[in-house]
Amino acid sequence: MLRADAELCDHAVDLCQRLLRIDTTNPPGNERPAADLLATELAAAGLEPRILESAPGRANVVARHAGTGAKPPLLLTSHLDVVEADPSQWRYPPFSGAIAEGCLWGRGAIDMKNHAAMSVALLTRLAREGIRLERDVIFAGVADEEAGCEFGSGWLCDHHPELVRAEYAMGEGGGFNMQLGGKRFFTVQVAEKGFCWVRARVRGEPGHGSMPRPDSAVYKLAAGIARLAAGLPAHRTRVVTEFVRGIASAQPAALRPLLGALTSNAVLPRLTKLLPDASVGRALGAMLANTASPTVIRAGAKTNVIPGVAEMEIDGRTLPGQTDAAFLEELATVLGPEFELEVMRSAPPVETEPVASPLYERILEVLAEREPDAVPVPYMIPGFTDAKSFTRLGARWYGFSPVRLPAGMRFADMFHGHDERIPLDGLRWGTEVLTDVVCRFGASPS
């Protein structure tokens, strides 16, 4: 069985550094140079990568390392686009790929050019050594995940499903460690929320700006926004219940009942506000309720005219088991009957059921060997990933892009934040873990 040696890990670091030096900020994306780089690496190992553009410059790269065909394929996927970065707020330029302070710096170091680099390094080694697993291993480096997947995984699944159809898929969403109550946990993403983007419009009496009207559309909109700040009702879900139980099981006995109460609709909102780390409280709150964040507000065109219409766009996220209709009903209850609600775009939640599978067991097995003092927990992310697309083709999705972070470095701070970086030893560790998981899974009984 292939084991990740220093050469393989160095290849992943080098690839990640070169990817970070390519600006694929979305918009506009322009993922083609990154796709070309990976295609060149894959072709040099004897593979036959295909670059597929959904629009000029919006490139996806797909390659397959053939196995024996005894079992259906495994897909490793990573998006090549990144969110914007303000260079004035970074210690090292965001597209420099600088190595400093024990880390590799750059936009995409965690989200998620690291996974692209690890996956391509692994595929090229399998190809060069002629190792044939019982499954084909497919790599898909895709465009446009940060803006909704339209030019990336969504387009691939619509136009080239035969290239990316797999029984299992591994991508972003989990694989990182976190510290709670003095104990380390590693996440394995098995669910993600859906999204329902809504335009909410309210009308009022127009008038001259010199004579304020309490019944104006702007005041009504402001009141609705204030009501949204209180949040929507909590809902119990299987994944979050198991996540909390996993965390509670590793805590002192006195804390377990308190943590168990996090799954209570009545207790949750109060507890999350009392947590010392506000970001942890927000994350927990987002995992236990549908959420509605006002993000875009519009009203009026002239300073001296009170407009008759005001509207906002709402980024709504829905839990597994919830529908757009149920979310709109909750939204209408909070905002009131004066608001007109229009769905702009939506996609359902994703949940891997059942959680247990040969791939999940291999993930747990490798983590237990490499991090025996850490506890793996199933996890749900409040955002969305390319899982939305690939699960449409029947793939069972696990968000597992392994990285080990040192104490004090939080994954949430790296994700879309200033000074995004990945520890070099954490990237090498992730390459070793990914290699172990893929090779064991490719040779394991179904």
Per the DSSP assignment, residues forming a β-bridge with 168 are 74, 396
Residue after which a domain boundary falls, among 347, 369, 400: 347
Only one residue has tokens 């999940």, namely 360
In this structure, are 212 and 121 located in the same domain? Answer: no
What is the structure's pLDDT at 276?
Answer: 46
Q: Are residues 113 and 28 in the same domain?
A: yes
Q: Do 92 and 132 fall into the same domain? A: yes
Q: Which residue ranges in the chain fall short of pLDDT 70?
A: 254-256, 258-281, 444-446
Residue 1 lies inside a defined structural domain of this protein: no
Residue 15, beta-bridge partner list = none
What confidence tens digit (pLDDT) does each residue in 262-294 have?
655 544 555 555 454 555 667 788 999 999 999
* Residue 169 neighbours by CB under 8 Å, 6+ apart: 74, 75, 76, 77, 387, 390, 391, 395, 396, 397, 398
131 and 84 in a common domain: yes
pLDDT at position 426, please? 98
- Whether a cis peptide bond, with omega within 30° of 0, leads into 206 is no
Q: Which helix (H) or strand (E) holds 352?
A: none
What are the residue ranges of helices labelled H in 79-184? 113-129, 153-159, 161-164
Q: 396 and 302 in one domain? A: no
- Do residues 278 and 305 share a domain? yes
The reply to whether 200 and 331 lie within a common domain is yes
- The reply to whether 361 and 322 lie within a common domain is no
Question: CA–CA separation, 400 vs 382, rounded Å?
Answer: 16
Q: DSSP labels for 67-89?
A: --SSEEEEEEEEE--B----GGG
What pLDDT was estimated at residue 182?
82
CA 42 to chain centre: 25
Angular region, 302: left φ>0, alpha ψ -120 to 50, beta rest: beta
Choose one of 288, 322, 347: the last residue of a domain: 347
In a domain, 187, yes or no: no
Residue 3: its pLDDT value, please?
Answer: 87
For 51, the domain range is 6-181+350-443
Check whether residue 200 and residue 98 sit in a common domain.
no
Is there a domain that residue 356 lies in? Answer: yes
pLDDT for position 273 = 52
In a domain, 404, yes or no: yes
- DSSP label of 147: G
Task: Give the number of domains in the chain.
Answer: 2
CB environment 375-404: b (16+ within 10 A), e (fewer): bbbbbbbbebbbbbbbbbbebbbbbbbbbb
Which candidate, 367, 444, 445, 441, places its Cα nearest to that of 137? 441
Is residue 18 located within the same domain as residue 153? yes
CATH label of the domain that carries residue 289: 3.30.70.360
